[in-house]
């Protein structure tokens, strides 16, 4: 959905057209659900938080003054709902305690290669497990940048941080992932995928 169509739908909803919100939700539901699943690591929690997100979107969309900022606005709502989700905090601790399996070792690679390969399905599955072990601040930046295809400037605006801070968290996050890969000896598994 291009920006013009989205803006038109938002204005229609703000003017009382209830069908417009259904079109917005149909388009945005899957990207937000995928984002929340990667962030939370559990589909049940992701679905719950996704529903909470769209309830808030429905309640507050009439007050959105800048429809062109909708993408940043909806990701911010989803992130806040995820962080406020009690089960996420509890489940996140449990999942961090579970990731102690070992395989082989991997050499450090440049972040560009990881960023390119992370989109591969099997590699992505491995990285989604690893994401739950890195600090939330780094995780959210990596997911927004790589999976949701936001620009650094958009991520910075969404998180109310400077672009330099966002870039720093992105690169530190990738470094954290490489460190975990080494500690958990996941090298051979990743080498099968060309990393």
> In the block, which residue shows the tokens 């961090």?
96
Which residues, in sequence order, are CB contacts of 185 under 8 Å at separation 6+? 102, 103, 104, 105
> Which parts of the chain sit beneath pLDDT 70?
1, 86-124, 186-195
Q: What share of the chain is helix, strand, coil (3-state, %, to 5)?
A: 75, 0, 20
Residue 3: what pLDDT? 72
pLDDT reported for residue 178: 84
Query: Where are the CATH 1.10.10.10 domain residues in the chain?
Result: 103-191
Please write the tens of the pLDDT for every residue from 88-121: 455 555 555 444 333 333 334 445 555 555 545 6
Each residue of 55-78: pLDDT tens digit? 999 999 999 999 899 999 999 999
Question: Residue 43: what pLDDT?
Answer: 87
Distance from C-alpha of 47 to C-alpha of 185, rounded to nearest angstrom: 32
Those residues with Cβ within 8 angstroms of residue 39's Cβ, 6 or more apart along the chain or in another chain: 46, 79, 82, 131, 139, 140, 143
Closest CA to 54 of 15, 76, 25: 25
The CATH 1.10.1740.10 portion of the chain extends over 3-88
What is the pLDDT, as a whole number, of residue 108?
A: 40
Of the CATH numbers 3.40.50.10440, 1.10.3720.10, 1.10.1740.10, 2.60.120.260, which one belongs to the domain with range 3-88? 1.10.1740.10
| pLDDT confidence of residue 101 | 39
The number of beta carbons lying within 10 Å of the beta carbon of residue 59 is 9
Specify whether the CB–CB gap between 104 and 186 falls below 8 A. yes
Number of C-beta neighbours around residue 73 at 10 A: 18
Q: What's domain 103-191's architecture?
A: Orthogonal Bundle (1.10)
The DSSP 8-state label assigned to residue 132 in this structure reads T
C-alpha Rg value of the chain to the nearest Å: 18
């Amino acid at each position: 959905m291009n920006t013009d169509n989205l803006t038109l739908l938002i204005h229609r909803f703000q003017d009382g057209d209830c069908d417009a919100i259904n079109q917005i939700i149909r388009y945005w539901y899957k990207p937000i659900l995928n984002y929340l699943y990667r962030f939370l690591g559990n589909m049940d929690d992701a679905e719950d938080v996704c529903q909470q997100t769209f309830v808030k979107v429905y309640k507050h969309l009439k007050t959105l003054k800048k429809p062109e900022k909708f993408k940043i606005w909806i990701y911010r709502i989803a992130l806040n709902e995820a962080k406020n989700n009690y089960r996420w905090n509890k489940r996140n601790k449990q999942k961090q305690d579970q990731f102690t399996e070992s395989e082989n070792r991997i050499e450090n690679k440049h972040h560009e290669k990881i960023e390119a390969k992370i989109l591969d399905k099997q590699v992505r599955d491995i990285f989604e497990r690893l994401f739950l072990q890195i600090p939330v601040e780094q995780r959210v930046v990596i997911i927004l940048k790589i999976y949701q295809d936001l620009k650094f400037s958009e991520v910075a605006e969404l998180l109310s941080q400077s672009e330099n801070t966002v870039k720093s968290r992105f690169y530190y996050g990738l470094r954290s992932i490489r460190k975990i890969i080494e500690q958990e000896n996941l090298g051979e598994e990743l080498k099968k995928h060309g990393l």
